[in-house]
Amino acid sequence: METTQSGVDAAPPGDDGSASQRTRVGVVRETNPGERRVALVPKIVAGLVKQGVQVVVEAGAGQGALIPDAAFTDVGAVIGDPWSAQVVVKVAPPSDAEVAKLSAGQTVIGFLAPRNADNKIPALKAAGVQAFAVEAIPRISRAQVMDALSSQANVSGYKAVLVAASESTRFFPMLTTAAGTVKPATVLVLGVGVAGLQALATAKRLGGRTTGYDVRPEVADQVRSVGAQWLDLGIDAAGEGGYARELTEEEKAQQQQALEDAIKGFDVVITTALVPGRPAPRLVTAAAVEGMRPGSVIVDLAGETGGNCELTEPGETVVVHDVTIASPLNLPASMPEHASELYAKNIAALLELMLVGGVLAPDFTDQVLADSCVTREPDAEPSTDAVAAGTDSAPVNGDGTDSSASDVPDTESSANSSDSGGSGSAAAGTGSTAGNGTGMGSSAEPSESIAGSPDSGASDVSGSVGKEQG
């Protein structure tokens, strides 16, 4: 197949249709600092081409994920200008310069940070662009394969444990040697959603003694399913329909003190609580850090919105009171190969809903498309089972993902969020399939949805250990 810089190619073998009648999907090269993911990978591109879709890839789009341009052209894509395509797919929210490249009638799909005050949705709407935010995909069974918050939160939860192990001055597993026995590291994960469950499962695989905590006691079984213990602080925040209720002031104070005391006994603490559009809830106080053993580690996945630890410096690794506090940003981008593969599957599944015979024809009577299109005026109020990134209650999983839609890989008994795409969000995480576990979100929200309506105050942890990133 001939490759051109214009992005126009001959019809694939066996396709007697006109190339001009086929939908063109553009894959852009991400420009956000540190973003190494790509929205589509060659395997997914091959499937789209077979469906009669033209795929135009920007030169170097897969470079960060170590995918050469030739890998795309080998499966039928062309290298050219993706911004002129009918559908533009990307990972991170578009910048002002990128929005300016779009024109009326185009469609853009990606992480659009609909809950952030500085998002580009108004600009996209003003430009006449039809925009679909993956964070706003409803948490319903048939949409699990499109859940980008959960797939990316999976990556965040996994990588958070590796960061902790790297920064720790102690072994994770118990070791019995001629020189003596080394006790296993104790690991506490705050926020049992997609990223949180993946973190528990990964820490367990490394030999750590794991414990999980969430304000919703009904997720205790999910914690135990990955071989971890449940931290019971004596607070029950279970509300109606699997959501967390807001705690009373007395309960908040009781929870805060009990959590502070518990944290001091762990070697590693991983926090995943995010509230889209608001500062992250403070779960780890300065007093708790001061009380931890020297050499202990805290990995804060909520750095992009201020952090769950009072002493966190977003994007930095600092040592305070001889405790290492790491707050890496956009962890999914640090594992671009698999993060891109998972995200590409999410995007392809969403595209499948929009395409009819290779032609773009979104049906807005479909709940998934209606809820995720953030530039369209809704015809009616969204259904109650569609939890877009904006719900103020914590869903069954801590990161907002549906407990039936998680995909933490199997561990002992069973077991992806982001913003800029995975900082969302847990969840993280997104790309959920079945199982007990991982997902970004948002993230977690449905992995990128939210935690049980916490205040934005620094000392409020009520209902906050519920939403993860991705």
Distance in angstroms (rounded) separating the CA atoms of residues 167 and 57: 38
List Cα–Cα distances, 40 to 3, 183, 214, in angstroms: 18, 44, 34
- Catalytic residue, chosen from 54, 150, 255, 425, is 150
Long-range contacts of 63-67 (CB under 8 A, 24+ apart): 63/29, 64/30, 64/35, 64/36, 64/37, 64/38, 64/333, 64/336, 65/36, 65/37, 65/38, 65/41, 65/336, 65/337, 65/339, 65/340, 66/336, 66/337, 67/38, 67/41, 67/42, 67/340
**352 contacts 40 by C-beta, under 8 angstroms:** no
Distance in angstroms (rounded) separating the CA atoms of residues 133 and 458: 29
∠ CA 288-290-295 to the nearest 5 degrees? Answer: 105
Please choose, from the candidates 238, 190, 247, the residue with its C-alpha nearest in 3D space to the C-alpha of residue 213: 190
How far from the centroid of its chain's Cα atoms is residue 59's Cα? Answer: 26
List Cα–Cα distances, 4 to 7, 25, 319, in angstroms: 6, 15, 52
Distance in angstroms (rounded) separating the CA atoms of residues 90 and 63: 14
> Catalytic annotation on 229?
no
CA atoms within 13 A on the CB side of 299: 30
pLDDT in tens, the chain (470 residues): 444 444 444 444 434 445 557 899 999 999 999 999 999 999 999 999 999 999 999 999 999 999 999 999 999 999 999 999 999 999 999 999 999 999 999 999 999 999 888 899 999 999 999 999 999 999 899 999 999 999 999 999 999 999 999 999 999 999 999 999 999 999 999 999 899 999 999 999 999 999 999 877 888 999 999 999 999 987 776 655 444 566 788 888 888 899 999 999 999 999 998 876 788 889 999 999 999 999 999 999 999 999 999 999 999 999 999 999 999 999 999 999 999 999 999 999 999 999 998 899 999 999 999 999 999 876 544 443 333 333 333 333 334 343 333 333 333 333 333 344 443 333 333 333 333 333 333 333 333 332 333 333 333 333 344 444 44
> Catalytic annotation on 156?
no
> Catalytic annotation on 243?
yes
> Catalytic annotation on 150?
yes
- Catalytic residue, chosen from 139, 216, 245, 278, is 139
- Catalytic residue, chosen from 144, 198, 256, 327, is 144
Distance in angstroms (rounded) separating the CA atoms of residues 342 and 430: 8
- Catalytic residue, chosen from 69, 147, 267, 392, is 147
Distance in angstroms (rounded) separating the CA atoms of residues 460 and 435: 31
- Catalytic residue, chosen from 130, 156, 158, 243, is 243
> Catalytic annotation on 36?
no
Q: Strand, helix or coil at 46?
A: helix
**342 contacts 146 by C-beta, under 8 angstroms:** no
Q: What is the pTM of this model?
A: 0.78
